[in-house]
Amino acid sequence: MVYDRIKQQMMDTLPFVQLLGIRIDAIGNGTSEVSMPADPKLNNHLGTQHAGALFTLAETASGAAMAGAFADLILGLRPVAKESRIQYQKVAKGATRASGRVPGDVAALKATLKADGKVAFPVEVDVFDEHGTLAAQVQVDWYLSEKR
């Protein structure tokens, strides 16, 4: 399936993601599930997940959801994360997971891309710790253009 190929491609070509032990668990049509293990090397001075590790987890989830939304076109596109915002809610204890989603109408985004050769849109991500506590909410704005 195309989502499995995207997942494998991302896992093979993102060395920083590999370094943090992040795993892309699932990709769907504009959705993703991504996880990161509990590891003392990823902790901050409080012994909880470091903010930078949480951000990387969320950014990875956003990219996976974006790629899933454009799975049929992604090989001909140049995706760039244009801007991001993160709101930390609670400290993240233990292993973490992130759920990414492209809000709105994916077909409309594809129509804009086809008409204009480019499209910009947000991807929303919720990050949870191993107890199910919402640790962060993230928005990554993606810009896609056709490869030149």
Summarised one tens digit per residue, pLDDT across range 76-97 is 999 999 999 999 999 999 999 9
Region 110-124 average pLDDT: 97
Residue 1: per-residue pLDDT = 77
**Residue 139 banded pLDDT, cuts 50, 70, 90:** very high
pLDDT at 147 over 90: no
pLDDT at 148 over 90: no
Q: What is the pTM of this model?
A: 0.95
Q: Do residues 78 and 147 make contact, with C-beta atoms less than 8 angstroms apart?
A: yes
Mean pLDDT of the chain: 96
Beta bridge partners of 49: 43
Q: Do residues 100 and 125 make contact, with C-beta atoms less than 8 angstroms apart?
A: yes
Residue 26 token pair: 């699932």
